[in-house]
Amino acid sequence: AQSVTQLDSHVSVSEGTPVLLRCNYSSSYSPSLFWYVQHPNKGLQLLLKYTSAATLVKGINGFEAEFKKSETSFHLTKPSAHMSDAAEYFCVVREDTGNQFYFGTGTSLTVIP
């Protein structure tokens, strides 16, 4: 069975410092993994996705994530936080058959000026 654990419900960083949002997954087979961002009162937007082509995945707005099979992790990083990065971030795993996606509980990122 698939599941996703986001290890931090809230993360605060200062503007210009690195961002690390942690995600661990459980999947029977080689998973498809995604990160989404949700700004306040908005829908969810795809940041990046892992589909086995490369372990380091680059996304929009300077974000990237590294797939580590040995650690069953897919952590999201950004070298330098910007005020506009303040949002809710969701890690998502796709079911093996492809019909369902499972969401983590989300990590709220605060960026301090």
Partner 1 sequence: NAGVTQTPKFQVLKTGQSMTLQCAQDMNHNSMYWYRQDPGMGLRLIYYSASEGTTDKGEVPNGYNVSRLNKREFSLRLESAAPSQTSVYFCASIERAYLYDGYTFGSGTRLTVV
List residues near partner 1 by CB under 8 A: 9, 32, 34, 36, 41-46, 49, 51, 90, 94, 97-101, 103-106
Burial of 71 (0-12, 13-18, 19+ CB in 10 A): exposed
Q: How far is the CB of 71 from partner 1 (least distance, A)?
A: 21
Q: Which is nearer to partner 1, 75 or 94 (CB)?
A: 94
Q: How far is the CB of 79 from partner 1 (least distance, A)?
A: 23
Q: How far is the CB of 14 from partner 1 (least distance, A)?
A: 26
Q: Which is nearer to partner 1, 78 or 89 (CB)?
A: 89
Q: Which is nearer to partner 1, 36 or 63 (CB)?
A: 36
Alpha-carbon span 71 to 86, nearest angstrom: 27
Q: How far is the CB of 44 from partner 1 (least distance, A)?
A: 4
Alpha-carbon span 10 to 7, nearest angstrom: 9
Alpha-carbon span 42 to 39, nearest angstrom: 5
> Maximum CA pair distance of the chain?
44
Tell me the two tokens of residue 100: 């369902």
